[in-house]
Amino acid sequence: MTTPRRAPGGFPVVGIVGGGQLARMCAGPAAELGLTLSVLAEAPDASAALVVPSSPVGDHTDTEDVLRFAEACDVVTFDHEHVPADVLAALVASGVPVHPTPDALRFAQDKLAMRERLTDLGVPCPRWVRADTAEEVEAFGAEVGWPVVAKTPRGGYDGKGVAVVSSADELTDWLARAQEAGTGLLLEERVPFRRELAVLLARSPSGQAAAWPVVETVQTDGICTEVLAPAPDLDPELSARAVEAGLRVAGALGVTGVLAVEMFELEGGEFVVNELAMRPHNSGHWSMDGAVTGQFEQHLRAVLDLPLGSPRPLEPWTVMANVLGGDYPELYPTYRHVMARDPGLKVHLYGKGVRPGRKIGHVTVTGDDLADLRERAGHAADYIRGVVTE
Ligand code: ADP
């Protein structure tokens, strides 16, 4: 195993379990801050392993692999939420600081635990229930009205593990699997939302917190495709209540590092919380180029209990558009083209192979004309993946 090389001057090593693009995007800020990263990677060619010299390959579900990795780290944090509870417990028992802590992380790992806790805290949620049987599904549908939204409590992402159903029959397979695993299903009323918002903030172990402005997230086929920062025409009072709810959740759950609170904005100035992520999040990619302190730098500061940086936006608007894999594996020619077309564009690619629909990068633009920024970001993202050629 390669031992991470520590910078002279007493600077720590931050270990990240998981070698995806979120770990990769910590590398730039870590270098700037004089910190050393070490990544427990899924494979030698994982997104982060391509840019972090200390990227031992290991299995995040294997206690021995994770403990061996953590020995060389001063703090351990995560690229994803899939590290099992027993591995997390062993990690904490080994004495290395772990942020976010497993006590907080379980509410991001399990959507049923999250719903229960948020409801206890009085944070607005869609009406929900745990269902284990077809009868319970039918009863919930009859109560809140069909269709309802069914979710597997664990392991879903990008809309996988979410289904909109109009009868219990459509959930026969899911119910069988949930019964076998003993997990149950989360059922929610289908919320007639106006749009999706996200509150992103960071909180440190000593309790300092800093929130970025509330953003609007636009999803296509269950995948986030665009983020508008800040959310246009957001009622300032709603914005303040949303941020207050985010800070309250972070404090009550003891979240450390970056927390994303995904929300639905309803008609009439209300919101409900959809879900929580305790790590840098797609809704915060805009901040790398659009705020004094980007989310990856802030996450590193927070998990090390360093003073947090300012989350203030640099320009009135920042638009982020995700680059999803298309039909063309060769990105270099199209990437050259968008750079030439728009010198104001910031391009971030993750070193990942192209697969249709896979998040392989994003672009951001900042400025004061929102419609122009949306056009430029959307065009560049589409051009890089090869769906437009003009
Ligand atoms: P994932 O963890 O896979 O991202 P989410 O719980 O965020 O799953 O749901 C994915 C998308 O499904 C959301 O962004 C939203 O568009 C839609 N969705 C989820 N829950 C509801 C709901 N209760 N009502 C209406 N739409 C929902």
Name the band, by pLDDT with cuts 50, 70 and 90, for residue 3: confident
* Span 227-250, average pLDDT: 98
Contact 286, 364 (CB under 8 A): yes
User: How many Å apart are CA 13 and CA 96, to the nearest integer?
Assistant: 11
Residue 309 CA to ligand 1 center (angstroms) comes to 31
Residue 159 CA to ligand 1 center (angstroms) comes to 6
Looking from the CA of residue 159, the nearest atom of ligand 1 is: 3
Residue 186 CA to ligand 1 center (angstroms) comes to 12
Q: Are strands 209-211 and 195-203 parallel, antiparallel or unpaired?
A: antiparallel
User: How many Å apart are CA 155 and CA 162, to the nearest integer?
Assistant: 11
Residue 308 has pLDDT above 60, yes or no: yes
Contact 218, 210 (CB under 8 A): no
User: How many Å apart are CA 209 and CA 27, to the nearest integer?
Assistant: 22
Query: 26 is written with which tokens?
Result: 């910590």
Residue 1 has pLDDT above 60, yes or no: no
Residue whose CB lies within 8 A of the most ligand 1 atoms, among 149, 221, 265, for a mutation test: 149
Residue 165 CA to ligand 1 center (angstroms) comes to 13
More confident residue, 252 or 326: 252
Task: Give the chain's mean pLDDT.
Answer: 96
For 47-106, what is each residue's pLDDT tens digit? 999 999 999 999 999 999 999 999 999 999 999 999 999 999 999 999 999 999 999 999
Name the band, by pLDDT with cuts 50, 70 and 90, for residue 389: confident
CA distances, 248 to each of 11, 101, 245, 261, 374 (Å)? 32, 17, 5, 11, 32
Residue 222 has pLDDT above 90, yes or no: no
Residue 274 CA to ligand 1 center (angstroms) comes to 7
Closest Cα to atom 17 of ligand 1 = 222
For 162-209, what is each residue's pLDDT tens digit? 999 999 999 999 999 999 999 999 999 999 999 999 999 999 999 999
The fold of the 127-189 domain, in CATH, is Dna Ligase; domain 1 (3.30.1490)
Residue 157 CA to ligand 1 center (angstroms) comes to 10
Residue type, 234: L
Residue 2 has pLDDT above 70, yes or no: no
User: How many Å apart are CA 328 and CA 339, to the nearest integer?
Assistant: 18
Rg for the chain (alpha carbons), in Å? 21
Query: 276 is written with which tokens?
Result: 């929580």
Residue 264 CA to ligand 1 center (angstroms) comes to 9
Looking from the CA of residue 262, the nearest atom of ligand 1 is: 7
Looking from the CA of residue 217, the nearest atom of ligand 1 is: 14
Name the band, by pLDDT with cuts 50, 70 and 90, for residue 388: confident
Looking from the CA of residue 156, the nearest atom of ligand 1 is: 3
User: How many Å apart are CA 163 and CA 125, to the nearest integer?
Assistant: 18
For residue 10, report the phi and psi dihedrals to the nearest 5 degrees: 85, 20
Q: What pLDDT is attached to residue 155? A: 79
Percent of the chain's residues with pLDDT above 70: 99
Residue 261 CA to ligand 1 center (angstroms) comes to 12
Looking from the CA of residue 126, the nearest atom of ligand 1 is: 23
Looking from the CA of residue 128, the nearest atom of ligand 1 is: 23
* CA nearest neighbour of 14 among 104, 78, 86, 83: 78
The CATH class, in words, for 13-98 is alpha beta
Output the CATH code of domain 195-385.
3.30.470.20
Closest Cα to atom 13 of ligand 1 = 222
Show the CA angle centred on residue 231, arms to residues 230 and 236, nearest 5°: 90
Query: Where is average pLDDT lowest: 146-160, 171-185, 269-283?
Result: 146-160
Fold identical between 13-98 and 195-385? no
CA distances, 167 to each of 5, 94, 132, 171, 195 (Å)? 57, 48, 14, 8, 26
Q: What pLDDT is attached to residue 146? A: 98
Residues in the ligand 1 pocket, defined by CB under 6 Å: 126, 149, 151, 156-162, 188, 190-191, 196, 219, 222, 262, 274-275
Query: 332 is written with which tokens?
Result: 């270099």
Residue 348 has pLDDT above 80, yes or no: yes
Closest Cα to atom 8 of ligand 1 = 159
Residue whose CB lies within 8 A of the most ligand 1 atoms, among 125, 129, 148, 162, for a mutation test: 162
Name the band, by pLDDT with cuts 50, 70 and 90, for residue 9: very high
Domain ranges of the chain: 13-98, 127-189, 195-385
For 129-144, what is each residue's pLDDT tens digit? 999 999 999 999 999 9
* Span 367-390, average pLDDT: 95
